[in-house]
Every structure is written in structure tokens, then in C-alpha cells.
Amino acid sequence: AWIRTSFSHSMKNLSFLMRTGGGLVYPRADLGDLSGFAEGAKKPVSMADGKPFFGAKAYKDSKVCNMMTVSELHRRYHESTGIAFSSMYPGCIAETQLFREKRPWFRKAFPWFMKYVTGGYVGMEEAGERLAQVVDDPQCTKSDVYWSWNGGAQQIGRWSEDGKPRGAGGSGGEIFENTQSDAVRDRETAKKMWELSCKAVGLTDKDKPKAAESA
């Protein structure tokens, strides 16, 4: 998802957890040699690496590409336009329609697991507030940053006297500049992904922004 705000001259990208290249849960994001992009990314090609379709991996691969795109936009256009390009990880928003086609037991168990085992759970309202912060907070004007929050992740949840879980979830905490994975920071692959993506959608130099690219 992309948010562009003219009043703050910034462009934000909502990202999955990509600091470690897609998290530690199988499958890991891996763009391979981008042969799928090189082949035009059209049917029957369904994956960036040219391999058979794998839904969970395709989701993670797409987020790596999104974050690479943010970095490429920064390298090519930030200096000449002043626009800030950044990504953010709002936390695990486990109770949306993303899992609507999963089995009922999974839709019930997954939010509980994220709340009380991994601690990565964040509600939709708080996630929205985090997005608004990255868009409008003066401290978030820096470009080419991966924003995250140091909430209560990796803590075991417990019930407090007011009947609410405490010490659970990625909620709360302060915003900070997170570190991208080596995969996302792979300059050569990012540049190749950018060029092949432009070619795949028929974007020519004439169609690109007038601002001079600095890449």
C-alpha cells in the first residue's frame, strides 16, 4: 500500500516484517535471480524467481520488492525533488480480512498466538495511528528510512486487574529507525528489480518523472 502526502512531500510504503528478509517463519522471501521478472512477469510466470506459485512466499517477495522500490525512489529522486521516501512496519494486524479464506480455527488461533506468544499483535486502530504518525510527524521527514515501533513484542501476555492484556503484542512503544535486511539492501538486485519492473509494465524513460535520476 502506498500513501503520498503533498502537504509533507513524502511517500510512504506499508511493509511486512522485512528487517530479517521476511521474518523467521517459512517460507523466507527470496527473489533469486529475478528470472520471473526478466521473463516479463506474465502468465504462466507467477513468481519473481521464476519458480511455481507459492502464495505465502509471493506475499513476502512482494514486500521485499516494495521496500527495494522505496530505496530506489530515494536514490533516484530524493535529492532533486526533496520528497521523502520511506517504509514502515505497523506490527502484525491479525484481525483483518487478509485471512478470510483460511480455516476458522486459524482465524481464531492466529490473533491469540500473536497476542500472547509472539507479542507482535497490533490492532487496526493503533496501526492506523502509526501510519498517520509516519505521514505527519516532523521526526519522520528523513528519507530512505524503515520505521518501526519498540512495542511489547517477544513478551508473554498476561491479564491485568483491569481485565486487559499487558506486556503482549507489538502495541505501544516509541517509533525508531529499524534496520532493513541484507536482501532489501542488495543494491544490485534492487536496481535490476527496478529496471525489469519498468520494462514489465511498459514504462519508458519518457514516462518517468522529469526529475533527474541520481542512481
Sheet strands side by side (includes 10-14): 2-5, 10-14, 84-88, 145-149, 175-178
At 20, the pLDDT band (50, 70, 90 cuts) reads very low
pTM of the model: 0.79
115-119 contacts: CB < 8 A, separation 24 or more? Answer: 115/157, 115/165, 115/168, 115/169, 116/156, 116/157, 116/165, 116/168, 117/156, 118/92, 118/153, 118/154, 119/151, 119/152, 119/153, 119/154, 119/155, 119/156, 119/157, 119/167, 119/168, 119/169, 119/170
Euclidean distance between the first and the last CA atom of the chain, given in angstroms as a whole number = 24
pLDDT tens digits for 139-154?
999 999 999 888 765 4
- The SS3 of residue 67 is helix
Q: Considering only residues 189 and 214, tell me which one the structure prediction assigns the higher pLDDT.
A: 189
> In 32-103, at which residue ranges do the beta strands (DSSP E only) sit?
84-88
Residues 6+ apart with CB under 8 A from 26: none
Give residue-wise pLDDT tens across range 47-74: 999 999 999 899 899 999 999 999 999 9
Q: Pairing between strand 175-178 and 145-149? A: antiparallel
Which band of pLDDT confidence, cut at 50, 70 and 90, is reported for residue 206?
Answer: confident
**Contact between 10 and 77 (Cβ < 8 Å):** no
Spatial CB neighbours of 104, under 8 Å, sequence gap ≥ 6:
none
Q: Looking at the predicted structure, is the pLDDT value of residue 157 above 50? A: no
pLDDT in tens, 164-201: 444 434 788 888 888 888 889 999 999 999 999 999 88
